[in-house]
Each structure stands twice: as structure tokens, then as C-alpha cells.
Amino acid sequence: MTNSNQGGGSDERTRLRPSPSPDDERTKIRGESLAADAEPKPRVQEAPNSKTMHRAQARAAPEAQMNLVPGAVIKERFVIESLLGRGGMGIVFAAIDRRKQEARDPNPQIAIKILNADFRNHPDALVALQREARKAQTLAHPNVVTVFDFDREGSNIYMTMERLRGRSLDDVVREARGSGIGRAAALPIVRGVAEGLAYAHRKGIIHSDLKPGNLFVTEDGTPKILDFGISRAVPNAAAVEQDSFDAGSLGAYTEAYSTAEMIDGVDPHPSDDVYALGLIAYELFTGKHPYERRGAIKARAAGISPTAPKELTRREWRVLQRALAFDRQTRPADAGEFLRLFFGVTRLQKSLLAAVCVLALVSGFFWYRSYQAGGPAVPFAQLPTETQEQFKSLMTDGDKGWQFYLKDHNLVILYDAVDQYADAYKLHPRNRDATRALERAADAFLEATKGQPEQQRAAAEALAAKSEYLAKYAPLESIKAPATN
């Protein structure tokens, strides 16, 4: 098992869209694929007289060129241990944080990402990495890598982050080519990535380069989103302050996971991330890229139409088909909508929820609040037999997830258990077994994130979004809305 924030070489490279030359405004985009075991570095368009020399130097030994070898110290603080991997923008090393050692921190190990030679020579390199660090720091979520700081020393521009232990999803996808990893293994990954994306989208941030090489699965099974280096702000999003720098000016993208709009340079949209998520989900379920690793424009021109994965229900496939649509208006608007559609409630559950809403409107607000504070309005025995059976099945599945969590402390499985309990609660609102299970799971999340206020707040927000009951659960409410001075 790889011990790395970026395991192995990526099949797909983040590309820089060349700036049109004064003599030719029709500069083309050239998609390239890489060998898994020998990834060349991304290139930045340069003057013809320096291109050959620069590429030779970049391929020779980027670590030695920057004097980043085991034992090297950055900023008199971070001691390089080993190379973890290379990404589109930078090189990632394992390192020891001396300040943490001095403070007797039990885990002084970190990962440090340093801009590679090509990106370092780009005029916006410093700004790009600083923006990545800042954006990632605002995304305190269990499915987004935790970023600590951003700085530079001499020519080395770097960012420090949590050190992950597990495997790059790129390795997982590569090993499962032709077969997929199975529904049971794929669903938690798809859900976790979608949860992290949905959180970013609510914050007004679009990843813009989602692909297996920018995803990581930790040893406990938690999927993590990496590399917000070319993430974009949602146009006119109130959640993001205005910034004179736009990562779109880098013109970077990965063709096999890019929408036609991204390749054409159209303004970013959250549904661009949904398209990439759909591609990744399809690869996990089937073991192959739905469009034969072609970009959206080429795939549409070739008339490629993916077949339904055998492990998906018809409803799930319809949602995934929408995510894979070439036209932006057909795709789910953002990851939150994808989550609701793909993992959402059944028609029966929606009907029951609608009935509850009508009841609340007819009976009046105060009666409804009283009803919310009490037990079930309808005894369990009086529910339709089908509803009773569905409730029991959901609770059983949730309990299985809870037991698995107690054994392995896998937060992804705990998230799944909360979903089962929340759906059961929707079938029979105020059911005491369901409320106890939801409270128990929420308390476990709070305990697991104790001492990590940002991650705890993110978990509280995610749980509140999953369940109407948890949205009003006092311990979560106090964390979501901390007291202000």
C-alpha cells in the first residue's frame, strides 16, 4: 500500500492552454497521454530559443535541480524525507515539521508541495499556489485534503498539507481496468468525492481539474480531493470574494476529464466538476473510461455512447447519464444536486415527506413545532406494511454500518450509516429508534473530530444537510453557529 499524497504516475496530465502567439491566433490544444511509469513534466509555452534547453533540464532531475534531496531543510523548518509523487503543478515530498517536533506533537509528519520547474517559471506561479492554499484552507471538510500554510524560500514556492497514507485513486482505477472495483467499494468513494465537491460548490469554488490523479483514498477508506491549484470561482458567487487573479488565465485542464466548455475556455460552472465526477464513477463501476479517454469534443464528434454499468439501478444510471452529458444544461447543476439525485430518497419517501408538509401547512406552524418536539404522529404499527419493511431494512443497514464503524472507525461508512438512518427517519418522522441512531452517529462524528474545530464544523454542516432531525440537534447547532463576541 502506497504511503503517499500522490501515489505513482498519473495517466492524465494537467495541460496548460498555450497563449496565442501574435502571428497565429489559432493555436490548437494538444491532448497528451502519459505512460504510467514515466510521466514527463507539464510544459509551459516558451520562447523557441529556450525551449529545448529548459525541457532537458526539467527532465534531468527536478529534485536535484532545486537541491531538494533527503535531509534538505526548507525555511529552517521542514526536513525533506522522501519523494511522494509528481502532480500537474508540483512535486510532493514527505517532510518533518521541526516546530511540531519541538512542541512534541505526536505526528510531525507533513507533505510539502513545491512548484515544479515549468510552473515556477510561469508569471502567475506564485499567485496560483497561494490561491490554491487559501482556497483549500477554506474547505475544511473530511473529503478535502487539509492545507496548513503557503510560503517561499528563494526560488522554491511551496505549500504544506496533511500527509495522507493510502493510495492515489489513479492507482486504484489503473489496477481495476476492464473490471471495475465493484459496487460496494465504488459507492463510498463516489459519495465521498461528491460530498467534498458539494461543499466546495456551496463555498463558490469549482475544482476544474478533477480526475483520479487528484483524488486519494486513505487507509481507512476516506476519499480525499487534492490539488485545487487551478480551481475557479463560480461566476458572481457571493460566497467568494472578488479576486483579480483567475486561475483560468493559466489555461490548464486535463482533456480526458474536461467538458467541451472547459476546452473551449468558457466560464467555469460547477457542472464541469459533475462531468468529471461522472467519468470517475463510471471508471470505478466498469473499469473503463466511458469515452475511451477522449475529450468531450472528440467523443461527441465520434458519436461514442457509453453503455449502462451492470451494477447500477435504472434510476442511478439515468443520473449518471446526465452527469456524463456533453451539454452543460443537461448535467446536474452542481455536486449537491448529483448527490440528491443519485443517492436521493425514493418516490415513496418523497410522497410521505410531501404529506408531512401539507399536514404542517394545514394544521398551523405552532402545532407542527409541537409535533416536531414530540414522538411519532402515527404509530409504527399503523404505517403501511411496505413502509414498515422499508424502515426496518434501512435501520438494519444503518446498524451494520455502525457496527463496522465501531470496528474500524471508518468515517465514510459512518456517513453511509447516517444516510440510512436519515432515510428511515423520513419514512417515520420522530421514530425513537431512528432519532437515537442519528444522535449516536452525530455524537460519534463530534468525538472523532474533537480538537479540530474547522473539520468538526464541516462535519456538523454535512450532517445537518443529511437529516432534518440533525439540522435541529442541539450539539450540532452549537458547532454550526459558534458564539460571537
Looking at the 3D structure of the chain, how many domains does it have? Answer: 2
Domain assignment of residue 99, yes or no: no
The CATH number linked to 296 is 1.10.510.10
Average pLDDT value for residue range 279-298:
96
Residue 90 backbone class (left: φ over 0; alpha: ψ -120 to 50; beta: rest) = beta
- pTM of the model as a whole: 0.60
Domain assignment of residue 205, yes or no: yes
> Is residue 138 exposed (0-12), middle (13-18) or buried (19+ Cβ within 10 Å)?
middle
Report the number of secondary-structure helices (H) and strands (E) in the chain. 20, 13
Find the domain containing 181 and state its range.
166-342
Tell me the Cα Rg of the chain. Answer: 24
Are residue 338 and residue 263 in the same domain, yes or no? yes
Sheet with 109-115, strands from edge to edge, namely 73-74, 78-86, 90-97, 109-115, 156-162, 147-153
Are residue 457 and residue 320 in the same domain, yes or no? no
Query: What pLDDT is attached to residue 356?
Result: 47
Q: Across the chain, what does the average pLDDT equal? A: 76
Residue 227: band (very low, low, confident or very high) from pLDDT cuts 50, 70, 90:
confident
Q: Is the pLDDT of residue 5 over 70?
A: no
Query: What pLDDT is attached to residue 407?
Result: 79
- Give the whole-angstrom CA distance, residue 43 versus residue 16: 7
Residue 137: band (very low, low, confident or very high) from pLDDT cuts 50, 70, 90:
low
Average pLDDT value for residue range 62-90:
79
Are residue 316 and residue 354 in the same domain, yes or no? no
Average pLDDT value for residue range 183-193:
95
DSSP line for 242-309: --S--GGGG-EE-GGG--HHHHTTPPP-HHHHHHHHHHHHHHHHHSS-TTTT--HHHHHHHT--PPPP
Average pLDDT value for residue range 192-207:
90
Are residue 189 and residue 288 in the same domain, yes or no? yes
Q: What b/e readout covers 395-416, taking b as 16+ CB neighbours within 10 angstroms?
A: bebbeebbeebeeeebbbbbbb
Average pLDDT value for residue range 311-328:
95
Domain assignment of residue 68, yes or no: no
- List the single range of 19-33, 346-360, 447-461 with lowest mean pLDDT: 19-33
Are residue 337 and residue 353 in the same domain, yes or no? no
Are residue 277 and residue 357 in the same domain, yes or no? no
Query: What pLDDT is attached to residue 296?
Result: 95
Q: Is the pLDDT of residue 176 over 70?
A: yes
- Residues 6 or more apart whose CB falls under 8 angstroms from that of 366 comprise none
Q: Is the pLDDT of residue 333 over 50?
A: yes
Q: Is the pLDDT of residue 53 over 80?
A: no
Domain assignment of residue 313, yes or no: yes
Query: What pLDDT is attached to residue 458?
Result: 84
Are residue 331 and residue 193 in the same domain, yes or no? yes
Domain assignment of residue 185, yes or no: yes
Domain assignment of residue 28, yes or no: no
Are residue 192 and residue 307 in the same domain, yes or no? yes
Residue 14: band (very low, low, confident or very high) from pLDDT cuts 50, 70, 90:
low
Average pLDDT value for residue range 207-220:
92
Distance of CA 269 to the CA centre of its chain: 16
Determine the angle formed by the axes of helices 453-466 and 411-427, rounding to 10 degrees: 30
Active site residue 170: no
- Give the whole-angstrom CA distance, residue 89 versus residue 247: 12
- Give the whole-angstrom CA distance, residue 231 versus residue 248: 8
Are residue 368 and residue 307 in the same domain, yes or no? no
Convert the pLDDT of each residue in 386-401 to its tens digit.
888 889 988 988 898 8
Of the three residues 292, 325, 342, the one that is the final residue of a domain is 342
Q: Which of 97, 118, 171, 209 is catalytic?
A: 209
Query: What pLDDT is attached to residue 252?
Result: 61
Sequence-ordered strand ranges (E) for 87-214: 90-97, 109-115, 147-153, 156-162, 166-168, 205-206
Query: What pLDDT is attached to residue 54?
Result: 38
Of the three residues 318, 342, 366, the one that is the final residue of a domain is 342
Of the three residues 292, 307, 342, the one that is the final residue of a domain is 342
